[in-house]
Amino acid sequence: MLKKASKTLLTLIALSGPLAISQVASAAGDPARGENLAQTCNGCHAGEGYRNPGPVYHIPMIGGQHADYIVSALKAYKSKERSHGTMQAQASNLSDQDMADIGAYFASMSGNSRPSLVNKQKAAKGKEKSVQCASCHGANGDGDQATFPKLAGQYESYIVQALKDYRSGERDNAIMKGFSAGLSIGDIEALAAWFSSQDGGLSAPEVENFKN
């Protein structure tokens, strides 16, 4: 990924001269500035085990998530294309630069390796089903393509909720609508058990004062 980014940078410099440099540098995001901006965010996204009040599901882990995906999610909340009142409000005042910096901050974290409590039989069934997901999300959900969210280690209840929302159209995404349409609730639970039990990928940032 780094290689790709610097290649793009070089191409842009070559094409458009010095003006492009600052634009590209800022698009990459400043994790230190992002950390400052993310204080409020960490009230919900840091530590493990915080839940959305209703419907009840775990607030997603975004530590270790791809920066590009975080930015695209924040843009979708800001434009209200993605529904969720609290997140729409959180994103409403963020500039593109703020989003890039916040994305860089969360993306700089490494994944957790934690014992999984999932049902092993469900996870085994999910592994079989997940073959169709691998080309975008990676074989165990820890894929390296920046626009496809990592799923490895994500909360089981959040994955279930996301897949149900794509299936019902509540969360509107043409690609995921297609991939969730044929899934039964059993399939959804199995896939969530599989991806959530995979190491690497994501973490809930461990921020002082927010540990639990």
**Where do contacts with ligand HEC occur on this chain (CB under 6 A)?**
38, 40-41, 43-45, 52, 59-60, 62, 70, 72-74, 82, 84, 86-87, 90, 102, 132-133, 135-137, 147-149, 151, 159, 162-163, 171, 173, 175-176, 179, 191
CB of 148 to ligand HEC, least distance (A): 5
8 Å CB contact between 116 and 196? yes
- Amino acid (1-letter code) at residue 44: C
Q: Which is nearer to ligand HEC, 11 or 39 (CB)?
A: 39
Q: Which is nearer to ligand HEC, 13 or 136 (CB)?
A: 136
CB of 86 to ligand HEC, least distance (A): 5
8 Å CB contact between 196 and 163? no
Q: Which is nearer to ligand HEC, 24 or 50 (CB)?
A: 50
Residues 6+ apart with CB under 8 A from 83: 170, 171
CB of 7 to ligand HEC, least distance (A): 23
CB of 59 to ligand HEC, least distance (A): 4
Residues 6+ apart with CB under 8 A from 124: 194
Which two structure tokens, joined as six digits, stand for 189?
A: 């639970």
Q: Which is nearer to ligand HEC, 73 or 100 (CB)?
A: 73
Q: Which is nearer to ligand HEC, 20 or 90 (CB)?
A: 90
Q: Which residue has the tokens 């089903």?
A: 129
CA dihedral 127, 129, 134, 136 (to 10 degrees): -130
Which two structure tokens, joined as six digits, stand for 63?
A: 């530590």
